[in-house]
Copies of this chain bind each other. A is one copy, B any other.
Amino acid sequence: MVQPLRLGLAGLGTVGIGVVKIVQRHADLMTMRTGRPVVITAVSARSKGKDRGVDLSAYAWEDDPVALARRDDIDVFVEVMGGHDGAAKDATEAAIAAGKDVVTANKALLAHHGQALAEAAEAAGRVIRFEAAVAGGIPVIKSLTEGLAGNQIKRVMGVMNGTCNYILTRMQNAGLPYETVFEEARQLGYLEADPNLDVGGIDAGHKLSLLASIAFGTKVAFDHVELEGIGNVSIEDIHLADEMGYHIKLLGVAQMSGRGLEQRMTPCLVPADSPFGQLQGGTNMVMLEGDSVGQIVLRGPGAGEGPTASAVMSDVIDIARGLRLPTFGCPATQLADVCPAKSATPAPYYMRATLLDKPGALAKIATCLGDAGISIDQMRQINQQDEQDDKALVLIVTHKAAPADVAHAMSQFAATGVLVGAPVAIRIEEI
């Protein structure tokens, strides 16, 4: 008689209910695919009484997810509560200590405590799986850890926060300023309770740090992700970039070079006709680059009940099938300490500045760039008139420049005394 795989489900929100629905709807399919039934034994959430639109009466209830994690009648603890501390952490630790496998959708938890949890799990002979934590329904963890396991990974790039991509594409398509679209997104329920997790790039940074660990065999190093959110992306820059053939995306890049590990999650210009440039709305996209395979691009829904539950269930089914791997693809004790790159790889930059229309103003700007060792690929001046002044908008695309040199040039711009307002510099990623 085959033993069913018994799940303890902590969290009955968007993702948790999605998991319940798949388990209930596809019992036969999963038995066929795994050779054993997959069942939910017990569940936990904050409010027991809430109507969640599904029948939970067959499942034991636990008020405390830690108690759920320790139950004798579960094999896998499914953590879909969220939060990088508190209940999620306590219950995950308890599950491992009690000899359970863990499936989680919680990137915050793993970005902060992944190393310790992985070591504990591996010492106990248990697995922690987290496909749903990165890029929702896209099987990117599996593709990277297993599908590209014969490659030395060169680079990982991704648009991995659907809310940010929604906001940026909506700004562009509707010509609306950030604040307006942010408010729309809030009203549509697209934003986390703490919106800075989304628009500050933190959520996407968590995801990037997990991919980087697998890709490069290093310990998760979220603290070393260079983070910049989308709050300063102006509709003006979106339009001007578009005219030059670029779109602005919150783009994550992780790459390893002789200079160390580089992890960035920042707004970038990408070619409008590139796969990333064409990505609209809440869809996610990840590019994995390996030394043998070249570039693989994966695209799909990055969030939502169905897609996220699909990813959780792929982890559960792997466990039911006996497919077991270390959390980050190789034993946690063998993951290397991160040596972070001192600064990002040089890249071309888009720059925008408004100048007082005085003789020699443009020359001063060009001189700043020259002094910083930055050479100019394209430069355009657009004269503007308003009630008070004659002004000139200057757009520059540089050749490859070091970020430090760009920062230096920006500060020198300010010192010229010919600027109106603050200048802008945004990195261009040519993919």
Contacts and interface: CB of A to CB of B under 8 A. Distances in A.
Interface in A307-331: 307, 309-314, 316-318, 321-325, 329-331
Contact of A294 (B297, B298, B301): B301
Contact of A150 (B151, B291, B309): B309
B292 A306 contact: yes
A29 interface: yes
Contacts of A292: 18, 21-22, 137, 306-307, 309-310, 313
15 contacts: A22-B150, A30-B150, A33-B329, A139-B146, A139-B147, A139-B148, A142-B142, A142-B146, A143-B143, A148-B314, A150-B314, A293-B306, A294-B306, A295-B300, A296-B299
Contacts of A310: 148, 150-151, 290, 292-293
A302 to B, nearest CB: 11
Contacts of A294: 137, 300-301, 306-307
Contacts of A278: 278
Given A18-B292, A29-B152, A142-B143, 13 more contacts: A22-B292, A32-B330, A35-B331, A137-B292, A137-B296, A139-B147, A142-B142, A142-B146, A146-B318, A149-B314, A150-B309, A290-B310, A323-B323
A275 interface: yes
Contacts of A324: 322-323
Question: Among the interface residues A142, A296, A322, which one has the most CB atoms of the partner chain B within 10 A?
Answer: A296
B290 A296 contact: no
Contacts of A9: none
A244 to B, nearest CB: 20
B299 A297 contact: yes
Contacts of A297: 298-300
Interface residues of A, number: 58
Contact of A323 (B34, B131, B293, B325): B325
A149 B309 contact: no
Nearest to A335: B32
A293 B148 contact: no
Nearest to A35: B331
Given A146-B139, A150-B310, A32 B293 contact: no
A46 interface: no
A385 to B, nearest CB: 38
A317 B146 contact: yes
Interface in A377-413: none
A217 interface: yes
Contacts of A313: 149-150, 292
A26 interface: yes
A93 to B, nearest CB: 25
A138 interface: yes
A329 B34 CA distance: 8
Contacts of A32: 217, 330, 334
Nearest to A136: B293
Question: Among the interface residues A26, A150, A310, which one has the most CB atoms of the partner chain B within 10 A?
Answer: A150
Nearest to A19: B150
